[in-house]
């Protein structure tokens, strides 16, 4: 069993853009009713199936498996709810941790968020200058929520 311990932040400015090359992600969710998520993800030409428990604090159980890219494409088209998450991810190594900056496209256009995975909930990290407000505890910034309630429609809700 793996545990994901993750903090999320909004990103400010453009300084981070020169620090990494982006990779296009497409991901969809298979509906669950119990706070758990089932995610299908296509990263470039690689497919993944991920199952996550409900989040407690900033931690949750996570299981991730490689699947054939063609299976991922088919699952995205036939099993996953709409809209789906489209984003470009930039991985930036800094002070011993990897920051993943996600620049969203499609119905979540305009949202740029950074995540950092920790080894311990109490791990201290130095925040880069381009890190803005922390949103770790705000469920609206979970990708599974963004798939059901796109950022572009938040002012309407």
pLDDT value for 1 = 61
**Structurally, how many domains does the chain consist of?**
1
Stated as kind and residue range, the H or E segment containing 114 is: strand 112-117
Is 48 annotated in the active site? no
Task: Check 25, 29, 90, 141 and give the catalytic one.
Answer: 29
Residue with the bigger pLDDT between 81 and 111: it is 111
How many Cβ atoms from other residues are within 10 Å of residue 10's Cβ?
Answer: 15
pLDDT at residue 100 greater than cutoff 60: yes
What is the span of the domain harbouring residue 96? Answer: 2-156
CATH at residue 80: 2.40.320.10
pLDDT value for 31 = 82
User: Over the stretch 7-43, which tens digit does the pLDDT of each residue have?
Assistant: 999 999 999 999 999 999 999 999 887 888 999 999 9
Calpha distance 71→75 (Å, rounded): 6
User: Over the stretch 46-83, which tens digit does the pLDDT of each residue have?
Assistant: 999 999 998 888 899 999 999 999 999 999 999 999 99
pTM of the model: 0.88
């Amino acid at each position: 069993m793996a545990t994901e311990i993750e903090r999320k932040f909004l990103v400010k400015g453009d300084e981070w853009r020169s620090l990494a090359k982006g990779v296009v992600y497409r991901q969809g969710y298979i509906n669950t009713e119990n706070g758990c998520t089932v995610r299908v993800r296509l990263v470039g030409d690689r497919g993944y199936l991920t199952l996550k428990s409900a989040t407690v604090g900033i931690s949750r159980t996570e299981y991730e498996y490689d699947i054939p890219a063609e299976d991922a494409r088919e699952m995205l088209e036939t099993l996953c709810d709409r809209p789906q998450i489209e984003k470009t991810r930039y991985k930036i190594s800094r002070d011993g941790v990897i920051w993943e900056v996600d620049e969203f496209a499609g119905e979540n256009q305009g949202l740029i968020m950074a995540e950092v995975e920790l080894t311990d909930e109490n791990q201290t990290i130095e925040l880069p200058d381009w890190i803005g407000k922390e949103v770790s505890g705000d469920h609206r910034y979970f990708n599974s929520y963004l798939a059901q309630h796109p950022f572009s429609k938040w002012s309407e809700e």
